[in-house]
Chains A and B, each alone.
Chain A
Amino acid sequence: MLARVVEAAGIPTITVTMMPELAQKYRSSRVLGVEFPFGHSFGVVGDAEMQTRTLQAALDLLATATKPETRVDLDTVWPGDPKQAYKDWQPSEPSPIVKHNLEAIRKARRDGASHDS
């Protein structure tokens, strides 16, 4: 959404995202997809080479894209154990909206169960 506001004001934008499919649904102008854990758009802690490679890919996309909704995916595999990376990016406790939604699902199940009985 912010990319759209900025781009509409005449400033080119590039969105570096773990969810390029979602960015495409927003119809973002230039999308660089990265298969990295959330919160780590540019790479691994302390790995300047990897961070630079991601940033350079974003700049290359800026320089070469000629039409809206251009998507390029970065050809970099997250190093290490993906299961551990999946655990590590998540907060120590579920976010308020996740807790809220889980409670709503449980309530619906309880209500459904009471109607069934």
Chain B
Amino acid sequence: MTVDSYAFLPRAFRPMYEAAPRFDHAPVWADFGKPLADARIGLLSSAGIFLPAEQEPFDVERERREPTWGDPTLRVIPNDVTQSQIDATHLHINTADLLTDMNVALPIDRLNDLADKNVIGSVSPEHFSVMGFQQEGAEVWRTTTGPEIVARCHAVDIDALILAPA
């Protein structure tokens, strides 16, 4: 089947996305040079997940005051996290389902299942969480949050990263 990119989008938003131009930057490419069964895989979600016991929530109060701004900072989620340890702040989606089962947005348990079955070599000891609404904060993603994720990926020898925009 061909996925309809607008199937679940409010109709009023559709023209804005359809009219968005194709970027004229050249695509980037990194070869995946090893068998899956030897690879270490990490995850990234933009669903606004954080660990309330040790991390600040994403700053949605500032977003309420400044609607064109979204909190562009990073939260690191350890691979051994449990469902009861997470919370989420996001003003653009209903987070109830992922607060029941984080695997709908950040499938840590499923990735560990696949490592147990030797489908992949191993799971990254840490995963990454951001908050997906970015307009004025987007430059910080490019200059600060992105490089921070890269440095952490290198530090834990991630071979590939699966990103899931919420």
Q: Identify the A interface with B (CB < 8 A).
A: 1-29, 33-46, 48, 51-52, 54-56, 58-59, 62-63, 65, 67-69, 73-75, 77, 82, 85-86, 88-92, 95-97, 99-100
Contact = CB atoms under 8 A, between A and B. Distances in A.
15 contacts: A2-B141, A3-B163, A6-B146, A11-B153, A19-B5, A20-B3, A29-B30, A33-B5, A35-B4, A41-B166, A42-B103, A46-B100, A58-B162, A74-B3, A91-B91
B27 A69 contact: yes
A5 B154 CA distance: 13
A41 B132 CA distance: 13
B79 interface: no
Contacts of B90: 39, 91
Contacts of A68: 27-29
Contacts, number: 235
B163 A39 contact: no
Interface string B128-166: 001001110010011001110110011000111111111
B150 to A, nearest CB: 4
Contacts of B114: 52, 55-56, 59
A79 to B, nearest CB: 13
B8 A85 contact: yes
Contact of A29 (B7, B29, B93, B105): B29
B142 A5 contact: yes
Interface residues of B, number: 78
Given A11-B160, A52-B110, A6 B153 contact: yes
A77 B4 CA distance: 11
B161 A6 contact: yes
B94 A89 contact: yes
Contact of A46 (B8, B10, B31, B101): B101
A32 to B, nearest CB: 9
B27 A27 contact: yes
A29 B37 CA distance: 22
Lowest 7 A-B CB distances belong to which pairs? A5-B146, A33-B3, A96-B67, A68-B27, A100-B67, A41-B164, A21-B5
A91 B142 CA distance: 27
